[in-house]
């Protein structure tokens, strides 16, 4: 039996306000977006690697790294209020008009540079084996019982009201948060719900070192420092 067709969709718009030029900023000697392109190209279960962007600079960097940039993202889908959901729907419409829908669409945000080809292959394999409708990559997070709310004056109160905040972390159920690195969906059901996450998504766990999300220049500097310190060598 042949493997399902999986297409990587790497997203990156050119109008970042917090960090202009983010997706082409250098990290480890190459543009930030190249990290995601290279991981997708190295994944054995990925059939194609496509980049959706409105920026000619990002498109050029993506092509240089080996990705396809077969269409320009419309301006109305490149604002800071447009969700990834709409960008994915646009890409699926283009793929359907070109040939046909893939069995699996893999959203890879360009701001997650340390997601590996092994992460992608493991996530896709688990997605197939479990017959899942949706998968999201996650990393460890602080349990809600240890979180605090702050009022307008700056005074704190427990987010949890059951007294669990007094327990040690080891006594609490492990918690995880989405890290933005990998989302897998089945195009047909995704189109119907028009939301990335289904009611019960499968999770692919990633370590904190590979879960960094580049949103600011400070994040990029931290990622560079991690590379220089060899923190990803055994992550």
To which residue do tokens 């918690």 refer?
175
User: Given pLDDT bands bounded at 50, 70 and 90, which one contains residue 161?
Assistant: low
* CA proximity to 139, closest of 202, 216, 210: 210
**If DSSP codes are grouped into helix, strand and coil, which group holds residue 103?**
coil
What's residue 69's pLDDT?
A: 98
Separation CA 51–CA 36 (nearest Å): 10
Q: Are the C-beta atoms of residues 157 and 149 closer than 8 Å to each other?
A: yes
User: Given pLDDT bands bounded at 50, 70 and 90, which one contains residue 171?
Assistant: low
Return the bridge partners of 167, or none.
Answer: none
Residue 78 has pLDDT above 70, yes or no: yes
- DSSP label of 3: P
Mean pLDDT of the chain, nearest integer: 93
- DSSP label of 232: T
Separation CA 92–CA 135 (nearest Å): 18
User: Given pLDDT bands bounded at 50, 70 and 90, which one contains residue 159?
Assistant: confident
Residue 46 has pLDDT above 90, yes or no: yes
With a CB cutoff of 8 Å and minimum separation 6, the contacts of 69 are 50, 51, 53, 59, 62, 63
Q: How far is CA 137 from CA 106, 134, 140, 220, in A?
A: 11, 10, 11, 21
What value does the mean pLDDT take over residues 35-51?
98
What's residue 168's pLDDT?
A: 60
| Measured CA angle at 128 (ends 37, 108), to 5 deg | 20
User: Given pLDDT bands bounded at 50, 70 and 90, which one contains residue 173?
Assistant: confident
What's residue 143's pLDDT?
A: 83
What value does the mean pLDDT take over residues 51-79?
96
What's residue 38's pLDDT?
A: 98
Q: Are the C-beta atoms of residues 235 and 210 closer than 8 Å to each other?
A: yes
Residue 170 has pLDDT above 70, yes or no: no
Q: Are the C-beta atoms of residues 45 and 34 closer than 8 Å to each other?
A: no
What value does the mean pLDDT take over residues 64-76?
96
User: Given pLDDT bands bounded at 50, 70 and 90, which one contains residue 234?
Assistant: confident
User: Over pLDDT 70: what percentage of the chain?
Assistant: 95
Domain spans of the chain? 6-141+175-228
To which residue do tokens 């089945």 refer?
186
**If DSSP codes are grouped into helix, strand and coil, which group holds residue 8?**
strand
Q: How far is CA 105 from CA 28, 31, 80, 88, 133, in A?
A: 28, 24, 23, 8, 11
Q: What would be the CATH architecture of the domain defined by 6-141+175-228?
A: Alpha-Beta Complex (3.90)
What's residue 146's pLDDT?
A: 80
What value does the mean pLDDT take over residues 201-230?
97
With a CB cutoff of 8 Å and minimum separation 6, the contacts of 226 are 114, 209, 212, 232
């Amino acid at each position: 039996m042949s493997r399902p067709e999986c297409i990587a969709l790497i997203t990156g718009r050119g109008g970042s306000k917090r960090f202009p030029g983010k997706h082409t900023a250098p990290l480890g000697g190459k543009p930030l977006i190249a990290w995601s392109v290279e991981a997708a190209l190295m994944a054995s279960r990925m059939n194609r690697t496509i980049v959706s962007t409105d920026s000619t600079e990002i498109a050029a960097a993506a092509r240089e790294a080996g990705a396809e940039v077969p269409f320009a993202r419309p301006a109305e889908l490149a604002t800071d209020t447009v969700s990834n959901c709409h960008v994915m729907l646009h890409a699926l419409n283009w793929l359907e008009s070109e040939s046909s829908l893939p069995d699996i669409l893999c959203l890879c945000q360009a701001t997650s540079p340390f997601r590996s080809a092994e992460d992608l292959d493991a996530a896709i394999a688990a997605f197939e084996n479990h017959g899942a409708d949706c998968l999201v990559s996650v990393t460890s997070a602080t349990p809600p019982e240890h979180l605090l709310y702050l009022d307008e004056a700056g005074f704190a109160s427990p987010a949890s009201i059951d007294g669990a905040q007094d327990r040690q972390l080891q006594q609490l159920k492990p918690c995880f948060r989405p890290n933005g690195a990998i989302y897998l969906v089945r195009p047909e059901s995704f189109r119907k719900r028009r939301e990335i996450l289904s009611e019960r998504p499968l999770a692919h766990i990633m370590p904190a070192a590979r879960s960094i999300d580049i949103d600011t220049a400070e994040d990029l500097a931290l990622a560079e420092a991690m590379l220089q310190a060899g923190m990803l060598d055994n992550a």
